[in-house]
Structure 1
Amino acid sequence: PLPWPPWDEEGDNDDDDGRERSPEDPFQNARELAQKVVQFDTEIVDATLDLDKLQQDPFSMYNPTNINTLKAELSQINFPDYFSTFTPRTRVVITYKPYPNSLSEILKKTPADVIEAYLVVRASLEYAPNLGRTTEAWKAVRTLQETLYGLKPGVFGERSQFCMTRVDVALGFGTGRYFVNQTFPGESREKAT
């Protein structure tokens, strides 16, 4: 259990988690943290299998592994609990055998605030496009997408089309029933079934 409120033993209520924080320019601190997050992401990418090797030998990706072996190699993540939320598993397939050890070493040497910032960035990039166009998060992610993908600034599709695409991705053919019910009158629907 976590102590609440999260005050330290000295009782000074500074909630610093033992991390040093400089009172200098917060933008400089943000820049430094952003650089560390990019470095962390780069290290994770470097630890993965090279796509050229993957395309040359796709069978090397199939590496069934006991879940306890994976837990021993990458102890920072509780895989049995994680996988038990989906279905009980004793074996998993690892696409690149050295990856769990490499990731474990990266996680060991990376400060907690960098990992936290990385996870916040990943969540933000994933979910910010679902927000309204007037939010700062949406604008920031859109600017990044325009830069990375060469999209024309300020040009985007209808919001209704975006929402329909998201629903279709999430529910798939399950939404087809509602389309059929609304599009086809009762008699033709009965003839088709």
Structure 2
Amino acid sequence: MEIVLGRAGIWLAALLLAVMAIAAAADTGFAIHMGIVAIACGIGLWVTLSKTDYSAIARGIIRAPADQTRYDDDPVRWGVIATVFWGMAGFTAGLFIALQLSYPLLNLGLEWTTFGRLRPLHTSAVIFAFGGNALIATSFYVVQRTCRARLAFPGLARFVFWGYQLFIVLAATGYLLGVTQ
């Protein structure tokens, strides 16, 4: 129970810090980014509290250790799904900016849809989001098969995966908001 409360406390502290950063933000881009971090912390808090078997903890049953004879393929599976998603997002952004070059009306008169903001979004989505997720998922897969063992720290693998997704979202929204100017 102490582990659950500790994790929930960390998520809650990060959530409160993000909300305080929103309140003290000097510009809109930073406030939006802290809002995204607050949402991510809220999701982490909710998952921590909802996935816990409180009745088993009350009975004194500690969660059984994972089956050490099976590989930990959850981060690999999530990585493949994220790779496909970010690939589709990056390639769609590339198609849209290619169409903008042919049909300038597709700029829509909005600052967020200009070529100058969508081009870095496209290249970063394809290189870092699509390519990076493919490399991370592949490394999680290959390390386990090469060593013939599960990942040493499965929680750390999940932290790396979800942290990478969060920073991809922060970078993408930063490009669209013009934070990088």
Same topology, TM > 0.5: no
Higher relative contact order (CA 8 A, sep 6+): 2
- TM-score (structure 1 length as normaliser): 0.25
- TM-score (structure 2 length as normaliser): 0.26
User: Counting helix residues as a fraction of each chain, which structure ranks higher?
Assistant: 2
User: Counting strand residues as a fraction of each chain, which structure ranks higher?
Assistant: 1
